[in-house]
Amino acid sequence: MTRTKLERNVLLQPYLKWAGGKRQLLPEIRKYLPKKYNTYYEPFVGAGAVLFDLQPSRLVINDVNIELINTYKIIKSKDGVEALINLLKEHNSQHSKEYFYMIRDEDRKDDYKNKSDVEKAARLIYLNKTCFNGLFRVNSQGQFNVPFGNYKNPKIVNDIVIKAVHKYLNSADSFITNQDFEEVLKTAKKGDFIYLDPPYDPVSDTSSFTGYSLNGFSKEDQLRLRDMCVELDKRGCKFLLSNSATPFIKDIYNEKGFNIKTVSAKRNINSVASKRGKIDEVLVMNYVNEEKP
């Protein structure tokens, strides 16, 4: 069975800024998307640039970041989305450098665990829109530690986009979860399509972005993901994977005979301004002749 297309929503786009987001790479990714598939899986969904561009009618999205996944669940819920927008308006009305650090420091207090899911979702979105470079980074205690962004007019309340995401997640057959990628992909079967956008293999010893989750994503995790791609291929699934064009990544997928395309992507999120710009990445897939003119 192939997917039934939903009516395309032109308002649908990421509601967060995200390190490694795929907006800049979308023109390349579109070239290699399968023409037909059943359920769409995205185990490392992040801000969802590919998801919201593709707009599949059946989807399973996941991320190891529990705070991030909480925002998706709140936006999908009928009562949660309105409460979220109202809380974001409150944050917007009080926004200042001092207010930012007060909200940022909430997860350093014992009563943070007593906050509601919608309060936590509003906090994450507020901090994401107002912190430096839109990063999500936590320290070894799991506390958000990105400094103030000092933007003149940050777009804290984008209710049009949030409502578009709410409508889409409820119009589609959508399942949202917070697990390890291996657990999520246990249910993927023949005819399904999986887009994989893991934390990238660092291009140097100093470039690793490890603060996204407490556990990071190691070379062993990259190999575990590669082995999962082999398993998906055996099941008759199609997968497309993005990663940095390091010798390690190219070697581990080359040795399994997968199709590898090198593409250039623009990166705007980096703490060092001189390191922002075009860098080589790879798209790895287990199919050929899918490129669209």
How is the chain split into domains, by residue range? 26-65+165-285, 70-159
Q: How far apart are CA 153 and CA 176, in angstroms?
A: 32
* Structure token digits, residue 178: 């917070």
26-65+165-285 and 70-159: same fold? Answer: no
As beta bridge partners, residue 176 has 61
Positive or negative: CA dihedral 123, 149, 152, 11: negative
Look at the domain 26-65+165-285 and name its fold.
Rossmann fold (3.40.50)
Are 150 and 129 within 8 A, CB to CB? no
| Torsion sign (Cα): 62, 67, 68, 69 | positive
Would you write out the chain's pLDDT as a tens digit for each of its 293 residues? 444 568 899 999 999 988 777 888 999 999 999 999 999 999 999 999 999 999 999 999 999 999 999 999 999 999 999 999 999 999 999 999 999 999 999 999 999 999 999 999 999 999 999 999 888 888 888 889 999 999 999 999 999 999 999 999 999 999 999 999 999 999 999 999 999 999 999 987 655 444 445 457 899 999 999 999 999 999 999 999 999 999 999 999 999 999 999 998 766 554 455 445 678 999 999 998 655 54
Q: Is the pTM of this model over 0.85?
A: yes
Report the CATH architecture of 70-159: Orthogonal Bundle (1.10)
Torsion of the alpha carbons at 156, 160, 19 and 123, rounded to the nearest 10: 40
Closest C-alpha to 1, from 40, 52, 36, 42: 36
- Rounded Cα distance, 145 and 211, in Å: 9
